Amino acid sequence: MNILITGGLGYIGSHTVIECISNNHNVIIVDNLYNSSIEVLHRLNKFLNKDIKFYRTDMQNIVDFEKVFIENKIDAVIHFAGYKAVGESVKKPLKYYDNNIGITINLLKLMEKYNVKKIIFSSSATVYKESEILPLTENMPLGVTNPYGRSKLIIEDILQDIAHADNEFKVVILRYFNPIGAHPCGMFGEENNGIPNNLMPYIVKVAKGELEYLRVFGDDYNTKDGTGVRDYIHVVDLAAAHIKAIKAFDFESNVNIYNIGTGKGYSVLEIINNFEKATGIKIPYKVVERRGGDIGEYYADSQKAKKELNFETKYGILEMCTDAWNYEKGNN
């Protein structure tokens, strides 16, 4: 298939480009380099021995964006592009709604105009309401506490409304849990221009000596050791899920939603311990107050993706830590 990947030079996008091309799909990448760099394209071409079609395009500019559809016959879209910092979204909600929803509307208008009827959407576990009942299944109540998560939920609703109006329009929604790690080749990883947001980028900065210690945001949650528990999934496993998701385009229902996680929860302290075991590097930490907006524990019930997509994760927590450090050592 000819697959348009928006945000294809980003962390998850670049790993998905590798999976798509390795599975003999043709890929066209659109990215405005807001949270990535052209170096990622050079590395993808080198690693895959390809000359991947790339458009440096701001999807907000629909005239510019339309060139992609004029110049390429697109069979399906994998839509990653969007801002994703939860904390920033609370401070700048309009920036998040304007961009994340605006670029999606432009994409959908062009898909309609050029009769592109298949989309896989990069959603997030943050669309789920905080729940005492775990693991989370796809039919659990939805509810968001920040503009980033709400932009994801709004896009999910837009896609489902279009699918209900046009049964030829095929939507696969993948709700990611916590992607970490990097491709074992060490050439692709989580770019952190400046201060990172997420746990693993902080840990590798401590491991490199760029940060003195890790702040552990609270140890008074109702969890196994009081620290936050999340479902961490290797980014290569997450990328592979997108290839498996393609088969859902042929399912009876034209809207299919899947949790993409491992089904296991790890606490912050367990991640620290596993990182130290995997790398031999001590990670000093200090417990500080909880981070606003955090919840104590969530992890996926990933049975639906296993049953319907035959998707199963291959990598464990030690590989996630080893590969994250392997990338950081060689690149930042």
Query: The tokens 């790398």 sit on which residue?
Result: 279
- Nearer CB in complex with ligand WQD: 56/91: 91
Spatial separation of the C-alpha atoms in residues 240 and 101, rounded to whole Å:
26
Tokens coding 166: 């046009």
Task: Give the nearest distance from C-beta 320 to ligand WQD in angstroms.
Answer: 12
- Nearer CB in complex with ligand WQD: 124/274: 124
Of 183, 186, 185, nearest in space to 234 by CA? 183
Task: Give the nearest distance from C-beta 104 to ligand WQD in angstroms.
Answer: 15
Query: The tokens 């690149």 sit on which residue?
Result: 331
Spatial separation of the C-alpha atoms in residues 247 and 19, rounded to whole Å:
15
Are 136 and 301 contacting, i.e. CB atoms less than 8 angstroms apart? yes
Task: Give the nearest distance from C-beta 174 to ligand WQD in angstroms.
Answer: 11
**Segment holding 197, helix H or strand E:** none
Task: Give the nearest distance from C-beta 24 to ligand WQD in angstroms.
Answer: 29
Residue number with the shortest CB distance to ligand WQD? 228
- Nearer CB in complex with ligand WQD: 136/268: 268
* Residue 114 designated active-site: no
Q: Which of 83, 128, 148, 327 is catalytic?
A: 148
Task: Give the nearest distance from C-beta 114 to ligand WQD in angstroms.
Answer: 28
Are 97 and 146 contacting, i.e. CB atoms less than 8 angstroms apart? no
Q: In 169-231, where does DSSP find H-type helix?
A: 199-207
Residues that bind ligand WQD (CB under 6 A): 84, 86, 124, 126, 176, 178, 197-199, 202, 214-217, 228, 230, 268, 291, 294
- Nearer CB in complex with ligand WQD: 95/113: 95
DSSP letter at 111 equals H
Q: What is the C-alpha end-to-end distance of the chain, expressed in Å?
A: 35
Would strands 170-176 and 178-180 be described as parallel, antiparallel, or unpaired?
Answer: unpaired
- Nearer CB in complex with ligand WQD: 72/198: 198
Spatial separation of the C-alpha atoms in residues 104 and 80, rounded to whole Å:
10
Spatial separation of the C-alpha atoms in residues 180 and 213, rounded to whole Å:
19
Q: Point out the residues that are catalytic.
A: 148
